[in-house]
Amino acid sequence: MRTDDDSDQVRRHTEERMARMIAYARAGTTPFVFIPLLGWDRLQYPVISLLSALVATGEATWFFRRVWRRGDLRDSLLIWADVAFCVALMLVGTRAAVPADRNVITTEFLPFSLVASAAMGFGLGFQKKAVPGLAAMCAAWVLALYPHFALKLVSDLLGFLLWYVIAVLIGRELRTLAEATERAQRAARRAQRLLAEQEKLTVITRQRELAHREIHDHLLPIVDHVAAGQVVDPGLARAARLGANRARRFIMDPRVVTGLPFGQLMEELCDVYVDRGLALTSVILVDGEPPEEVGEAVAAAAREALTNVLKHAGDDVRVNLFAESGAGGLEVVIRDRGRGFNTTVVRPGGGFLSTFAAVARHGGACVVTSEPGAGSRVTIRWPKEAHAE
């Protein structure tokens, strides 16, 4: 399971990427400090230019290694040491040329120094403490070129400001994106936890339904029959054998009870009640298999309806069962011509309540219609709109 520290990885990686962007910029602008050496003969003090280039390379190496190791530009030592070095580089390195050539030959120190403005933008953002750094670099460049100014000086000074502002804006956008990504990841993890809990609850509910169904539909009728001292006829013995086999399978794996196709499941159900003496006529049409759990739930509701016919409809009552399953869903209709009952007076028992609720949880519906003396009709549909009249 992820922790809160793990949720900050996006932000840390964003800071690392911004830091490496500046590190690449520092490495990429370092060769510029060697360009004045190409005009060695025009330099007043070429050794100063050479030493400035070598020291700048050393500073760039330190900058790159520190950024790569720490992965964060919000490092006061890194930022201010880099600003101080760039100020010194502009003031000292430009002394290699005569004053009139400084704006031509030693202007190549400028790209190296502009990276310091970008580093401040990423590391400090729009903070007041960035102002002294920007002012120091602008002032150093003005002093480096003094007294021979050109119109290019305006663009140079504007460059320090723009690199800083653009870096601030890019850093703000990247950090905002990182925060939004983290929020989305946290929401996704919460949704995954809720889904896992829901799936676990669904599995527990299904196992409870299966356990209740096996005990209520297959074991209790046999126990009740034997406890009442009634004769164990061949039909009951067959039902007992089937119930024992189902119980063994359930004990071995509660997730799977029958694994039978819906048509075979209904045929076995009808055979059991015919063996128990019910005058049952059945028509079973299967043109498409429903999900296994749906088939189990529908069969359990049909079994409960047939059990109630056997118990309450009267002797020698004829029963018709029609079951049809196809691509659009399935429907089971059980019709008897027994005593019937008043649906507004007689409350459904626990078997009906549990099995009907299981069908409803899978998106189906069960409807019972009956009148005293006119028999009863139980209709089971999945989904509940299937075969609607």
Local mean pLDDT, 10-residue blocks, the chain (389 residues): 61 91 95 93 93 96 94 92 96 92 86 95 92 95 91 92 95 92 90 89 73 64 67 65 63 57 89 85 91 89 89 85 92 92 74 80 91 91 69
Which of 171, 124, 162, 129 lies closest to 16 in space, CA to CA?
171
Strands 376-382 and 329-336 turn out to be: antiparallel
Strand partners, 380: 332, 366
Q: Burial level of 81, CB count in 10 A (0-12/13-18/19+)?
A: middle
pLDDT of residue 76: 92
Q: Which helix (H) or strand (E) holds 327?
A: none
Which residue reads 């016919």 in tokens? 309
pLDDT of residue 296: 87
Please report, as a single letter, which amino acid is at residue 96: A
pLDDT of residue 241: 66
Give the separation between CA 196 and CA 207, rounded to whole angstroms.
17
pLDDT of residue 164: 96
CA atoms within 13 A on the CB side of 208: 9
Q: Is the peptide bond before 147 cis (omega within 30 degrees of 0)?
A: yes
pLDDT of residue 105: 81
Q: Helices (DSSP H) in the chain: which residue ranges?
A: 9-29, 46-70, 76-88, 109-124, 130-145, 152-213, 220-227, 234-252, 262-275, 292-312, 350-361
- Stated pTM of the model: 0.58
Q: Give the contacts of 214 (CB within 8 A, at least 6 positions apart).
A: 243, 246, 247, 250, 257
Give the separation between CA 256 and CA 133, rounded to whole angstroms.
73
CA atoms within 13 A on the CB side of 338: 27
Tokens of 77: 């030592």
Q: Helices (DSSP H) in 106-151: which residue ranges?
A: 109-124, 130-145
- Buried b / exposed e across 143-177, counting CB within 10 Å, b at 16+? ebbeeeeeeebeebbebbeebbeebbeebeebbee
pLDDT of residue 1: 45
